[in-house]
Structure 1
Amino acid sequence: MSKTPVHPGAILRTQFMERYSLSASALAIRLHVPAPRVNDIVRERRGISPDSALRLARFFRTTAQYWMDLQTAYDLSLAQALAGEQIVREVLPVAADANEPAIAA
């Protein structure tokens, strides 16, 4: 996979925090979370948890699902880049006829 995945922290930083001129510390205070949590997210060292997604959604008037979708897309993109080809080689799909095994014994 050649496309580099975008970390949700980069989106938080560029599309939300910069727009509202918020530092990581200021956002952490507004979200009622420890400053290292926000700092680690925007430095792309930590993912967005469901708790963070709920807080970000409330503060920025988005949805928690938006933040979780960003995280899931990022995680899946990384997994594809790291193990996708190996999984394609190792895992055979179920046969078209569910009663038939995918591999003849």
Structure 2
Amino acid sequence: MTDKLIPLPTPGDILKAEFLDPMGITPYRLAKAIHVPQTRIAAIVKDGREITADTALRLSAFFGMSDAFFVNLQANYNAMQARAKLAAELATIERFVLAA
């Protein structure tokens, strides 16, 4: 039996599933509303392009979220990806303990 992990949803997957689809908003409409090229939103949703700080602030303003919401969504995704990639090496790092 192989250990197969479920792929992490990208921030674009979450944007689509939790915001766009339920609210009936197309990537084109969102792009126009937040003043970015439609290709940027399409790349985030379809291709897993990272959400930059610029785009994150625009999304937060549009959806009424905190400024940090989409920034943190991307940062957490990046950390989980790095943690999975570096798991074996991270396991060899001995934690520092301050002597009493």
**TM, length-normalised to structure 2:** 0.84
| 1:37 maps to amino acid | R
Asked if structure 2 preserves the Cα contact closer than 8 Å seen for 1:48 and 1:68, the reply is yes
Residue 13 of structure 2 corresponds to 10
**TM, length-normalised to structure 1:** 0.80
| 1:92 maps to amino acid | E
Residue 38 of structure 2 corresponds to 35
Aligned length: 97
Match 1:46 to one of 39, 46, 49: 49
> Could you tell me the percent identity over the aligned residues?
29
SS of corresponding position for 2:39: helix
Q: Which runs of 5+ in 2 are unaligned?
A: none
**RMSD across aligned positions (CA):** 1.9
Once the 2 structures are TM-superposed, how far is the Cα of residue 16 of structure 1 from its aligned partner?
0.8
Query: Separation in 2 of the partners of 1:74 and 1:35?
Result: 23
Structure ranking higher in helix proportion: 2
Residue 99 of structure 2 corresponds to 97
Residue 82 of structure 1 corresponds to 85
